[in-house]
């Protein structure tokens, strides 16, 4: 496959979305350039889709999303070179935008979650894989849980998730436009050793006579997010009335002095209660008909990926870790990645159109080895629709397998070919390789037999195919 010309891709995309003056902000996720445009009507979507190196364009979450693939970092760097350093990291231009008015409540919620959790995913994935490796080593007897090496490596694998509230304080501060380190200071009290020890010892604690309901906030999500949201409003209000010469010292002092008691007395306990109720409610609904729920969840998970709405599930997973010690929900979608890979392989095996065969082959490899599915979804499956339906059904079957096993993901380990052995060591882990293989094989067979034929090619593709035959 030819090497992509990232400067050309970036230049074309920036020009076709309406130029620098029409871009309010830009950031990227694993596969997409995510623009917030002042006027989406100025973007020439069809022309952008035709740019070599662009897989597709998706409108969602109040954003204009240009799908590039797993090499989106390279394209993003070139975009920033064109726009200037002021746009790096998604900085918003001075002019007001209508970002907040676009999209449904679900879209905006997904955008909120993705903006807060996306920067943390690298750390989560890294420590999750290390945690899974320790499970493998101890379960196979290659390492003792009593040795010093295990203690050190366990600390390395557990620290990020335990202090997750601190990481979220930084990303939430960026989202809510608050000073990062003021937010860090406020949230830091939740996991401060003295507070944590008082909870562990069952000690009574009060604040000027008001009882503090101590809880364990390690790995929690909602307390940090709710606290930073409220703290950002307080910071903005104080800054408006505080003389500029005093803001540097007094605004953080007042914010920390007011917010830490409020979070320990009210926001923390209330948000933890909400999290517990939320987790219990999900379990009640799921337990009513687990396999049916798992099938529906698995079938719709690929659809969530299309719109980026799968980000909305991450806080639920994080809450499960904090409340239950494991996540059971998101693993129900484990069949999705390999169902998409299998459906793409089915297209590759069935088609005789060389360009489509090459694209499907490359996207199958990316999905299988890297666990990145957007190129396959937008480049192959959605274009012909029926292969996507085959992938959805196969992913649903995979979800049923995981549900039957009662799989528990003890650490936030992503699913790809290299992590399957580690995930198989978790409770109910036998279901992971079964789910993967079954989803992949079923999607391949369904697509090959029922999901695709070269009759579904566009007129342009058919003409190109006929030219191939004539050349032969």
How many degrees, rounded to 5, is the angle at CA 50 between CA 45 and CA 53? 110
Residue 21 lies in a domain: yes
Residue 211 lies in a domain: yes
Q: What is the pTM of this model?
A: 0.64
CA distance 168 to 160: 11
Rounded alpha-carbon distances, angstroms, from residue 314 to 118, 294, 297, 331: 10, 17, 15, 12
Instruction: Determine the length of the chain.
Output: 472
Q: 239 with 296, same domain? A: no
Q: Is 10 part of a structural domain of the chain?
A: yes
Residues 300, 388, single domain; the answer is yes
33: confidence class by pLDDT, cuts 50, 70, 90 = confident
Q: For every residue of 252-267, which 3-state class applies, written as one string?
A: HHHHHHHHHHHHHHHH
Q: Are residues 300 and 262 in the same domain?
A: no
Q: Are residues 277 and 331 in the same domain?
A: no
Residues 62 and 11 in one domain: yes
Q: Which two tokens stand for residue 360?
A: 């499907």
Q: 469 falls in which pLDDT band (50, 70, 90)?
A: low
CA atoms lying within 13 Å on the CB side of residue 401: 20
Tokens of 236: 């903005």
Average pLDDT of the chain to the nearest whole number: 83
- Does 401 lie in the same domain as 258? no
Same structural domain, 458 and 370: yes
Residues 316 and 246 reside in one and the same domain: no
Verify that 329 and 461 share a domain, yes or no: yes
| Residue 37 bridge partners (DSSP) | 23
Same domain, 295 and 399: yes
Report the number of distinct structural domains present in the chain.
3
Q: Do 277 and 331 share a structural domain?
A: no
Q: Indicate if 42 and 95 belong to the same structural domain.
A: yes
Is 131 within a domain?
A: no
Compute φ and ψ for 351, nearest 5 degrees. -75, 150
8 Å CB contact between 169 and 183: yes
Dump pLDDT digits (tens) for 173-216.
Answer: 988 989 999 999 999 999 999 988 888 888 888 888 888 888 88
CATH number, position 17 = 3.30.1360.60
Would residue 259 count as lying in a domain?
yes
What are the CB-based long-range contacts (under 8 Å, 24+) for 41-47? 42/17, 42/18, 43/16, 43/17, 43/18, 44/16, 44/17, 47/16
| 126 in any annotated domain | no
Q: Which domain holds residue 194?
A: 163-282
């Amino acid at each position: 496959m030819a090497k992509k010309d990232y400067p050309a891709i970036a230049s074309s995309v920036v020009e076709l979305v309406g130029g620098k003056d029409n871009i309010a902000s830009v950031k990227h996720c694993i596969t997409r350039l995510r623009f917030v445009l002042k006027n989406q009507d100025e973007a020439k979507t069809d022309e952008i889709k035709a740019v070599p190196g662009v897989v597709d364009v998706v409108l969602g979450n109040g954003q204009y999303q240009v799908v590039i693939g797993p090499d989106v970092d390279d394209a993003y760097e070139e975009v920033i070179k064109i726009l200037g350093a002021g746009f790096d990291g998604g900085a918003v231009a001075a002019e007001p935008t209508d970002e907040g008015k676009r999209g449904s409540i679900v879209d905006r919620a997904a955008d909120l979650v993705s903006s807060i959790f996306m920067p943390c995913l690298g750390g989560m994935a890294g420590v999750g894989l290390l945690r899974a490796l320790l499970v493998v080593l101890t379960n196979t007897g290659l390492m003792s849980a009593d040795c010093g090496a295990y203690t050190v490596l366990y600390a390395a694998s557990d620290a990020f998730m335990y202090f997750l509230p601190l990481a979220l304080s930084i990303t939430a501060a960026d989202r809510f436009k608050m000073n990062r380190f003021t937010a860090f200071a406020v949230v830091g009290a939740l996991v401060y050793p003295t507070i944590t020890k008082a909870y562990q010892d069952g000690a009574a604690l009060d604040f000027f006579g008001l009882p503090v309901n101590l809880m364990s906030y390690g790995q929690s999500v909602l307390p940090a997010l709710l606290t930073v949201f409220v703290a950002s409003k307080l910071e903005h209000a104080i800054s408006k009335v505080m003389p500029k010469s005093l803001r540097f010292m007094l605004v953080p002092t007042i914010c920390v002095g007011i917010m830490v008691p409020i979070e320990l007395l009210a926001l923390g306990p209330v948000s933890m209660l909400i999290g517990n109720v939320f987790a219990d409610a999900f379990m009640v609904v799921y337990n009513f008909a687990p396999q049916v729920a798992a099938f529906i969840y698995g079938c719709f998970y690929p659809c969530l990926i299309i719109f980026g709405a799968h980000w909305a599930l991450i806080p639920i997973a994080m809450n499960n870790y904090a409340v239950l010690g494991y996540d059971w929900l998101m693993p129900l979608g484990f069949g999705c990645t390999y169902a998409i890979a299998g459906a793409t392989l089915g297209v590759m095996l069935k088609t005789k159109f060389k360009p489509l065969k090459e694209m499907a082959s490359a996207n199958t490899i990316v999905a299988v080895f890297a666990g990145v599915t957007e190129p396959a979804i937008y480049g192959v499956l959605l274009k012909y629709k029926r292969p996507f339906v085959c992938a959805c059904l196969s992913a649903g079957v995979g979800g049923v397998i995981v549900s039957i096993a009662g799989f528990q993901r003890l650490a936030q380990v992503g699913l790809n070919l290299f992590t399957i052995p580690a995930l198989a060591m978790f409770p109910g882990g036998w279901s992971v390789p079964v789910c993967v293989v079954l989803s992949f094989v079923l999607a391949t067979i369904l697509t090959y037999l029922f999901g695709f034929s070269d009759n579904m090619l566009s007129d342009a593709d058919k003409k190109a195919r006929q030219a191939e035959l004539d050349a032969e």
